[in-house]
Structure 1
């Protein structure tokens, strides 16, 4: 039988288990990968604002809240997955989150007033969503010159891809591969 749960690694929710439904393309970030990401971020998560455009199970956002993130905006299109997110987040004794049942591309195509410190960009694979999402994030004021972007993808993220789709100079600070998943952390700089 498939175990559709994940456990929070550190912070005030450490050890808590959360459930997620079976859904096409839903693959929660593995614990080992989450641990690597949050080691990369070190102490740069507390009091940060985060947007998670393809929230899925919510594992990254829950881990960030556990570690003291100020506010997390989650977007999830799949209604069943969204209902699971609602159930999981209702268990929290916090209002550090905003859940949106919406198509991320439509949501991000609206001008934003308050840029985010960090983006968790982990879209469904093989749908070519990373380029358009990066463009919308930079064009619609979701980023500022000290924002960081974490990307999980089925291919290696290159400086050329970032240069073509972000309105910022940026630097790939860390990059790894686990199985068939590539992941990296990017820092931005104003052009």
Structure 2
């Protein structure tokens, strides 16, 4: 699983192999909507985080997901936040810059009758560059590869109050990005690689 950027909408999640042209389906693995299949927007390079990776991630998050307030910063297909909602998350905000992808997200959430979710069509960094109205418990960070979006997103989450004291942050990034540009007081809890992708879970150490 590799990723190429979408020049027109560089923040759209784009996990793609060389021949992938967008479209297709995502499958929700477990929970209320288990085995539901949903369309993926026909945006070049857009596809969901793989079933195998999502299964691992949500095994990590078993105790955290129920009741969690979720922020999906570069939502793309929405696979991560929809999986979280299916497994009992209390709410989710999905940020997506591509109008086509955002429309499909809204349509899929309507199909699921997911009234606890809200799609915001926006530039993610611009949205984060304002004071938070509330903190989030679980944050998904899966930016397009090689666009230098991860570090500013992490810093804005911290500086503008989007994280709670016990927040967990999931990061999916290109494997060669090592070490990840996370704030000093973020602590690595779990990490794995799958092909060209690294994925990891982080917590926050209370500042002195």
Shared fold, TM over 0.5: yes
**For the residues of structure 1 that align with 2:163 and 2:194, how far apart are their CA atoms?**
27
Residue pairs, 1:75-94, within 5 angstroms: 75-94=95-114
Superposed CA deviations along residues 116-153 of structure 1, whole A, max 9, x for unmatched, are 00100001111010000000000010012210100000
Q: Answer yes or no: is 1:67 the counterpart of 2:87.
A: yes
Q: Please tell me the root mean square deviation across aligned C-alpha atoms, in Å.
A: 1.8
Q: Could you say which structure has the greater relative contact order, defined with CA pairs below 8 angstroms and 6 or more residues apart?
A: 2
Q: Residue 186 of structure 2 aligns with which residue?
A: 170
Residue pairs, 1:1-191, within 5 angstroms: 4-155=24-175, 161-162=181-182, 166=183, 169-191=185-207
**For the residues of structure 2 that align with 1:93 and 1:21, how far apart are their CA atoms?**
19
Q: CA deviation at 1:43?
A: 2.2
Q: CA deviation at 1:160?
A: 6.9
The number of residue pairs the alignment matches comes to: 187
**For the residues of structure 2 that align with 1:138 and 1:57, how far apart are their CA atoms?**
25
- Structure 1, unpaired ranges of 5+: none
Secondary structure in structure 2 of the residue aligned to 1:126: coil
**For the residues of structure 1 that align with 2:71 and 2:134, how far apart are their CA atoms?**
11
The question of whether the paired residues in 2 share the 8 Å contact of 1:154 and 1:181 is answered with yes
Q: Normalized against structure 2, the TM-score is what?
A: 0.85
The question of whether the paired residues in 1 share the 8 Å contact of 2:69 and 2:89 is answered with yes
- Structure 2, unpaired ranges of 5+: 1-19
Q: Residue 3 of structure 2 aligns with which residue?
A: none
